[in-house]
Amino acid sequence: MAFNNLDEFIQFLKKKRELKVIDTEVDPNLEITEIVDRVVKSGGPALLFTNVKGSDIPLAINLFGTKQRMAWALGVENLDEIGERLSEMFNVKVPESILGKIAMMPKLMEIAKFPPKVVKKAPCQEVVIGSKDIDLYKLPITTSWPKDGGQYILFGQVVTKDPDTGLRNMGLYRLQVLDKNTTAMHWQRHKGGAAHFRKAKEKGMKRLEVAVVVGSDPATMYSTSAPLPESIEEYLFSGFLRKEPVELVKCKTVDLEVPAESEIVLEGYVDTEEELRLEGPFGDHTGFYSLADYYPAFHATAITMRKKPVFVSTVVGQPIMEDDWMGFATERIFLPLAKLVLPELIDYHMPFEGIFHNLVFASIDKQYPGHAFKVMNGLWGLGQMMFAKVIVVVDKDVNVQNTSEAWWYALNNIDPQRDVIFTKGPADVLDHSSQHFSFGTKMGIDGTRKWQDEGFTRPWPDKIVMSDEIKKLVDSKWKSYGF
Ligand SMILES: Cc1cc2nc3c(=O)[nH]c(=O)nc-3n(C[C@H](O)[C@H](O)[C@H](O)COP(=O)(O)O)c2cc1C
């Protein structure tokens, strides 16, 4: 089931008793964070604050804060269903019969079946606020942590257009409020928005137009965070997830399109010639404060919104937080795509304590000497996997979703000097420990069983497994033992 807008998802969560409406007045300065932190860490519901101090607009938060809600948001019960749809699509074994070939066509076309549709009238433009009347302080924008540099819009879906190709990018980047119509634009250097900004600057364009959507249908909200290749627009991917096109509307003051069913849209621009602004510090999803650094300013020229909009935010910090479930969705959805390039990959897993870029377990069907190193290098070459600080490769029979099992297996199997490699590459901007800003060392651990032709000449021990005969015997006598 696809949700057309945020309200449909909120009503769905209400029916499922997965939404708590809080009418007590709450302070957007720190108080909301403390509430959300307690709720998300105990697997609690999504929250709708109707009485946020200083604003008339309600605030929805922790919408995707469990595995189940994340799956529902994307119209499935289980996130693996989406991966399976993608797998089927890419399983391009050409059938023998003509009928089989014809039947295959719709599958191949599936990703392109739901391109966004532009409509003329949109709920997100029911109210239009001109540049003179913009006051971001009227929105329920939170300050998350005590040492944060200020208030941040944390679920801003930032839309830009590639100055060369016209392809749209939508990325989830935080925006620190600098004054009533200006924010910092925290697109990190490896991300789509930053690439558009660099291109615009190189081409001598004074302005890069930007739209910031706050709250849309949940599949589009998730897609904004997904590590899609540049050539696949988030709107197309969201259409695929929804099995229905996303309806878009032209912005009022910039040449960009936003989801017609959005809640609030900030229209504006970044000026490529303007001095960068100090952004941060910010209590980040690493669980530490990201240091302040310089980013472009975003100038809002108009705000459009529904008559009764809902503002959306999140809280990031030490795991487990809502963004961990968004990252988990990405892990599951993108596995089949990684397998296209690395067919030996059985599964991978990024445990929450590794905050995605710090630790990746991968299980492989090892076929030749050094295979584990080939897979590590392959992973480091895949989009945002370039940020992976530590990759641990194990054999195919290891369940990498169980990190205790994966560590147990790998640590037993390694001789550190022989099986650990160090290499270099781009580091996540948020990695405060890397040798240089956004550039550092990576570690690969080959935790697979070692082979003779890898130079291991001693016999390799078998894993301990009880015989089926004894298991059956104990099963049949279990009650007689008196347990
Ligand atoms: C809650 C949340 C906040 C995020 N904040 C930022 C941010 O401030 N800057 C950034 O570059 N990426 C941020 N990200 C990660 C990007 O959204 C993500 O890498 C996305 O794939 C970027 O898309 P792009 O490659 O189209 O730019 C955030 C992700 C989440 C889930």
> Of all atoms in ligand 1, which is nearest to the CA of residue 192?
27
Do residues 104 and 94 lie in contact, with contact meaning Cβ atoms separated by under 8 Å? yes
pLDDT exceeds 80 at position 77: yes
Average pLDDT over residues 39-53: 98
Do residues 217 and 9 lie in contact, with contact meaning Cβ atoms separated by under 8 Å? yes
One domain for residues 306 and 382: no
Whether 324 is covered by a domain: the verdict is no
> What is the distance between the alpha carbons of residues 240 and 61, in angstroms, rounded to a whole number?
25
Whether 479 is covered by a domain: the verdict is no
Average pLDDT over residues 308-327: 98
Please give the single-letter amino acid code of residue 58: P
> What is the distance between the alpha carbons of residues 133 and 301, in angstroms, rounded to a whole number?
10
Cβ of 265 closer than 6 Å to ligand 1, yes or no, is no
One domain for residues 58 and 190: yes
* Ligand 1 centroid – CA 417 distance (Å): 36
Whether 216 is covered by a domain: the verdict is yes
Structure tokens that stand for 437 in this block: 């800003």
Average pLDDT over residues 442-449: 98
H or E element that contains 210: strand 207-214
pLDDT at position 79 is 95
Whether 449 is covered by a domain: the verdict is yes
- CATH number for the domain spanning 61: value is 2.30.110.10
pLDDT at position 243 is 95
Whether 285 is covered by a domain: the verdict is yes
Average pLDDT over residues 373-387: 98
For 130, the domain range is 6-313
Whether 329 is covered by a domain: the verdict is no
Number of domains in the chain: 2
H or E element that contains 390: strand 390-395
> What is the distance between the alpha carbons of residues 9 and 378, in angstroms, rounded to a whole number?
38
* Ligand 1 centroid – CA 155 distance (Å): 10
Average pLDDT over residues 94-113: 65
One domain for residues 306 and 379: no
One domain for residues 135 and 207: yes
Strands (E), 134-187: 152-153, 156-161, 168-172, 175-179, 182-184
Residue owning tokens 């300065």:
29
pLDDT band at 92 (very low <50, low <70, confident <90, very high): low
> Of all atoms in ligand 1, which is nearest to the CA of residue 226?
21
For β-strands 182-184 and 297-305, DSSP reports them as: antiparallel
Question: What is 20-39 written as a DSSP string?
Answer: EEE-S-B-TBTHHHHHHHHH
pLDDT band at 253 (very low <50, low <70, confident <90, very high): very high
* Ligand 1 centroid – CA 341 distance (Å): 24
Do residues 272 and 230 lie in contact, with contact meaning Cβ atoms separated by under 8 Å? no
Torsion of CA 270, 272, 277, 280, to 10 degrees: 60
> What is the distance between the alpha carbons of residues 83 and 332, in angstroms, rounded to a whole number?
6
Cβ of 187 closer than 6 Å to ligand 1, yes or no, is yes
One domain for residues 214 and 284: yes
pLDDT digits (tens, 9 = 90+) for 340-376: 999 999 999 999 999 999 999 999 999 999 999 999 9
Burial letters 119-148, b for 16+ CB under 10 A, else e: eeebbbbeeebeeeebebeebbbbbbbeeb
Whether 336 is covered by a domain: the verdict is no
Please give the single-letter amino acid code of residue 469: E
> What is the distance between the alpha carbons of residues 20 and 42, in angstroms, rounded to a whole number?
14
CA dihedral for 163, 169, 174, 178, sign (positive or negative): positive
Cβ of 160 closer than 6 Å to ligand 1, yes or no, is no
Pocket test for ligand 1, best of 159, 168, 169, 172 (most atoms within 8 A of CB): 172
One domain for residues 34 and 147: yes
Structure tokens that stand for 312 in this block: 């959306």
pLDDT exceeds 90 at position 177: yes
* Ligand 1 centroid – CA 479 distance (Å): 54
Where among 296, 313, 330 does a domain terminate?
313
Please give the single-letter amino acid code of residue 455: G
Whether 466 is covered by a domain: the verdict is no
One domain for residues 255 and 404: no
One domain for residues 195 and 63: yes
Half-sphere exposure (Cβ direction) of 403: Cα atoms closer than 13 Å: 11
Cβ of 325 closer than 6 Å to ligand 1, yes or no, is no
> What is the distance between the alpha carbons of residues 23 and 259, in angstroms, rounded to a whole number?
29
* Ligand 1 centroid – CA 314 distance (Å): 13
Do residues 449 and 460 lie in contact, with contact meaning Cβ atoms separated by under 8 Å? yes
The number of angstroms, rounded, from the C-alpha of 262 to the middle of its chain's C-alpha atoms is 19
Give the list of residues 6+ apart from residue 242 with CB closer than 8 angstroms, or none: 2, 3, 75, 114, 217, 219
pLDDT exceeds 80 at position 99: no
High-pLDDT (> 70) share of the chain, %: 96
pTM: 0.95
Strands (E), 23-153: 46-49, 59-61, 117-118, 127-129, 152-153
DSSP-derived 3-state class of residue 356: coil
> Of all atoms in ligand 1, which is nearest to the CA of residue 187?
11
Average pLDDT over residues 62-74: 98
One domain for residues 82 and 142: yes
Beta bridge partners of 395: 364
* Ligand 1 centroid – CA 445 distance (Å): 28
> Of all atoms in ligand 1, which is nearest to the CA of residue 316?
1
Strands (E), 11-71: 19-22, 46-49, 59-61
Cβ of 69 closer than 6 Å to ligand 1, yes or no, is no
One domain for residues 282 and 240: yes
CA angle 256, 260, 263 (to 5 degrees): 105
Residues composing the chain: 483
> What is the distance between the alpha carbons of residues 81 and 70, in angstroms, rounded to a whole number?
13
* Ligand 1 centroid – CA 33 distance (Å): 20
Beta bridge partners of 295: 277
Average pLDDT over residues 144-154: 98
Cβ of 50 closer than 6 Å to ligand 1, yes or no, is no
Cβ of 286 closer than 6 Å to ligand 1, yes or no, is no
Burial letters 259-275, b for 16+ CB under 10 A, else e: bbbbbbbbbbbbebeee
pLDDT band at 202 (very low <50, low <70, confident <90, very high): very high
The number of angstroms, rounded, from the C-alpha of 53 to the middle of its chain's C-alpha atoms is 30
Q: Residue 187's closest CA among 212, 215, 217, 220?
A: 212
* Ligand 1 centroid – CA 302 distance (Å): 24
Cβ of 330 closer than 6 Å to ligand 1, yes or no, is no
Cβ of 192 closer than 6 Å to ligand 1, yes or no, is yes
Q: Catalytic site residues?
A: 284
> Of all atoms in ligand 1, which is nearest to the CA of residue 314?
1
Average pLDDT over the chain reads 96
Do residues 141 and 153 lie in contact, with contact meaning Cβ atoms separated by under 8 Å? yes
One domain for residues 105 and 206: yes
pLDDT at position 106 is 58
pLDDT exceeds 80 at position 189: yes
Whose alpha carbon is nearest atom 22 of ligand 1? 171
- CATH number for the domain spanning 375: value is 3.40.1670.10
> What is the distance between the alpha carbons of residues 197 and 382, in angstroms, rounded to a whole number?
23
Pocket test for ligand 1, best of 63, 158, 168, 173 (most atoms within 8 A of CB): 173
Cβ of 171 closer than 6 Å to ligand 1, yes or no, is yes
Average pLDDT over residues 306-318: 98
Structure tokens that stand for 154 in this block: 């944390």
Pocket test for ligand 1, best of 61, 167, 191, 285 (most atoms within 8 A of CB): 191
DSSP-derived 3-state class of residue 59: strand
One domain for residues 228 and 364: no
Cβ of 317 closer than 6 Å to ligand 1, yes or no, is no
Q: Residue 168's closest CA among 120, 220, 90?
A: 220
> What is the distance between the alpha carbons of residues 242 and 393, in angstroms, rounded to a whole number?
34
Cβ of 425 closer than 6 Å to ligand 1, yes or no, is no
